[in-house]
Amino acid sequence: MNKKLTIFVTLMVILGVLVGCGRPPAETVEDEAPEEPQPTAETAAPTTPPEPAEEDVEPTAPSEFKFSTWGDPTFFEDGFNRMKKDYSAYADVEWIFVSGGEGDGDLLSQLRADWIAESWDTMPDAAEMSTSYIPLLAEEGLLVDLTDMVAPYADDISPAVLNGVTHNGKVYALPWMPNTGMIWYNKEVLDEAGINADDIETWDDYLEAGKTIRDYEFADGVDRYIHNADIAWGPGMALQLMLNQECSSYIDPDTGELAIDTDPAFRRAFEWWVDAYEEGILLGVEEWETPWFDALNEGIIASYISANWMDQVIQFDLEDQEGTWRAMPLPAWEPGGSRAAFESGSANVVILNKPGADVDLAWTFFEHSFLNEDVTGDLTSAHALVPAFLPAFDHPYYSGPNDFYGGQELGKLDKEIQESATCAFNYTQHYYDITDLVMVEIQEVWARNKDVDQAIADAADAVRFSIEE
């Protein structure tokens, strides 16, 4: 009986394989680009970047456009469809979404694999990309130079934002949403504790406000905190914002040298987080996990240092927060100092530099979606996102009061910050390595294993060791 069953199963499976292989799956990726020479074992990587092909571009309209993002593709698809309506030449182009996995890392892995294997037919035509990855990919020639195409619009985007995607003087990505740094706060909690957010102008003020909240006895008897200390990770994003607002980076953009042990701005930011922790004004839960969301919901964490995209979290991830929250620009380090910074994230689109790349199609798509006075505001507001294209702020969604936030004019705030920003953070390809090392040192100080001096020195040593040429 066993034997018969085995034979039967085997036959079924063989049949299945034959049937399955005889009929290829409905939509396989067809080879659009001209045939590429097969890679041999010796060719590890192309040593010179291929030219963006002008000669190789198909004379006829392309049939598909592959776009990759790890986030929500419906936003981009929406933009693409709108573009198709206005550009009849592209009316028949099929939109194909290539999943970028769960995060930037997955997307980068795919691009890398495609690039090394010269797999142009699986590589997307365009992708959404984090600012922090631009230096590496631009350096290695994966991105099409957009300088000339962006040039007419240079005044319509914040110089700091544009600088962020500039590498060796050339623009390699189009920012479509700058992650404008801001602090979101729970107005009800602050009001109850007698704090007026407009009075918070410096980080010292913010720390003091934290003490007030720490000491205040709230009506419901619950302990509250002005912010959270992510004890599993550290203040990664906040630290980067604090540096950016002072035009500091881990690595000095002019000298290329590690700056963390010499830059007073770094030390100041580092110490701030240690002081805040020591003063007990920080709750200690892991961020982006349910308990953290809970704490935000209940106002146990009264504010959060992040960026403009926090709007989506508050509206869609928290419950019943209408009217409760507001946003404010980052406090400055000195009275009157800079209050503008951006954090890295997926805020740009790029065109992949592959042979046969249809730059026209991709750029038309980008231009129509993100640099268009009629379309951009409409498109981004429809998905509750914020544009980098400053004229788009004339759209009613961005120029009027935002009811969800008690009538605050968030669009105006964002635009003001974008316009007053002057510097871009210098990411370099070492950004994640350095961040990991610095975060460990902050945690060491939090755990009372070291003092600040030791921690900064150790961080600098570890980073130098790690990134040495």
Partner 1 sequence: MVATAYPKRKKKSIFRRIWDNRAAYLFITPFFIGFLLLDAFPLAFSGYLSLHKWNGLGEMRYRGPANYTRAFQDSRFLVSLKNTATLWLGHIFLLLALAFILAVVLNSKLIKGRYVYRVIYYLPNITAIAPMALVFGLIFDTHFGILNLGLTALGITGPPWLTEPFWANVSIIILNIWSALGWYMLILLAGLQSIDPTLYEAAQVDGSTTLQRAWYITLPGLRDVLFFAFIIETIGSFELFTEPQLLTNGGPLNSTLTASLYLYNSAFSYNKFGYSSAMSFILFAIIVVVTIIQARLTAEDEA
Partner 2 sequence: MVLKGMTLSNRRVLRASIQIVAHSVLILGSVLFLFPFFWMVSASFKTSTELLGSAQSLLPSRITWESYDIAFNSTMPLLRNLYNSLFVSINYTVLAVFLCSLAGFAFAKFNFPGKRFLFALMLGTIMVPGVVNIVPSFIVMKTLGWVNTYWSLIIPGAANAFGIFFFRQYIKSAVPDELLDAARMDGCTDFGIYWRIVVPVISPALVTMAIMDFMGTWNDYQWPLIMLRSPDMYTVIVAIASFPAPRFRQPWGAIMAGSTVSVLPPIVLFLLFQKRIISGITIGSVKGA
Contact residues toward partner 2 (CB under 8 A) are: 2-3, 5-6, 9-10, 13, 16-17, 20-21, 24-29, 38-39, 70-74, 77, 96-102, 106, 109-110, 112-113, 116-119, 122, 288, 290-291, 293-294, 297, 309, 312-313, 316-319, 345-346
Q: Looking only at residues 369 through 408 of this chain, which bind partner 1 when binding is defined by CB under 8 A?
A: none
Q: Looking only at residues 25 through 44 of this chain, which bind partner 1 when binding is defined by CB under 8 A?
A: 41, 44
Q: Which is nearer to partner 2, 71 or 391 (CB)?
A: 71
Closest separation between CB of residue 442 and partner 2, Å? 22
CA dist 447 to 76, 233, 239, 289, 453, Å?
44, 13, 18, 22, 15
Q: Is 20 helix (H, G, I), strand (E, B) or coil?
A: helix
CA angle 112, 370, 96 (to 5 degrees): 45
CA dist 231 to 102, 145, 466, Å?
23, 40, 24
Closest separation between CB of residue 132 and partner 1, Å? 11
Closest separation between CB of residue 351 and partner 1, Å? 16
Closest separation between CB of residue 111 and partner 1, Å? 8
Q: Does 56 bind partner 1 (CB under 8 A)?
A: no
CB atoms within 10 A of CB 452: 16
Q: Which is nearer to partner 2, 20 or 194 (CB)?
A: 20
Query: Which option in partner 1, partner 2, none does residue 264 bind, with CB closer than 5 to 8 A by kind?
Result: none
DSSP letters, 288-332, are: TSHHHHHHHHTTSB-EEEEETTHHHIIIIISSS-TTTEEEEEPPB
Stretch that binds partner 1, among 108-116, 199-207, 262-270, 395-403 (CB under 8 A): 108-116
Report the largest interatomic distance among the alpha carbons of the chain, rounded to a whole angstrom. Answer: 86
Q: Does 142 bind partner 1 (CB under 8 A)?
A: yes
Which residue, among 195, 408, 189, 184, has the nearest Cα to 298 in the 3D structure? 189
- Give the C-alpha separation, 84 to 361, whole Å: 10
Query: Which option in partner 1, partner 2, none does residue 232 bind, with CB closer than 5 to 8 A by kind?
Result: partner 1
Which residue, among 122, 111, 100, 99, has the nearest Cα to 45 in the 3D structure? 111
Q: Which is nearer to partner 2, 64 or 261 (CB)?
A: 64
User: DSSP label at 245?
Assistant: T
- Give the C-alpha separation, 203 to 338, whole Å: 12
Q: Looking only at residues 401 through 430 of this chain, which bind partner 1 when binding is defined by CB under 8 A?
A: 429-430
Stretch that binds partner 1, among 86-94, 347-355, 413-421, 458-466 (CB under 8 A): 458-466
Phi/psi at 282 (5° precision): -115, 135
Query: Which option in partner 2, partner 1, none does residue 21 bind, with CB closer than 5 to 8 A by kind?
Result: partner 2
Closest separation between CB of residue 135 and partner 1, Å? 10
Closest separation between CB of residue 197 and partner 2, Å? 24
Q: Which is nearer to partner 2, 63 or 122 (CB)?
A: 122
CA dihedral 296, 432, 444, 271 (to 10 degrees): -70
Q: Which is nearer to partner 1, 410 or 463 (CB)?
A: 463
Q: Looking only at residues 435 through 454 of this chain, which bind partner 1 when binding is defined by CB under 8 A?
A: 436, 440, 443-444, 447, 449
- Give the C-alpha separation, 88 to 93, whole Å: 10
Closest separation between CB of residue 303 and partner 1, Å? 19
Q: What is the identity of the amino acid at 49?
A: P
Q: Which of 256, 291, 406, 407 binds partner 1 (CB under 8 A)?
A: 291
Q: Which is nearer to partner 2, 112 or 268 (CB)?
A: 112
Closest separation between CB of residue 48 and partner 1, Å? 9
Q: Is 203 helix (H, G, I), strand (E, B) or coil?
A: helix
Contacts of 332 (CB under 8 A, 6+ apart): 201, 202, 203, 245, 338, 339
CA dist 215 to 222, 271, 281, 311, 324, Å?
11, 22, 9, 28, 22
Residues interacting with partner 1, by CB under 8 A?
A: 41, 44-45, 47, 105, 108-109, 112, 115-116, 136-137, 139-142, 231-233, 284-286, 289-291, 294, 429-430, 432-433, 436, 440, 443-444, 447, 449, 462, 465-466
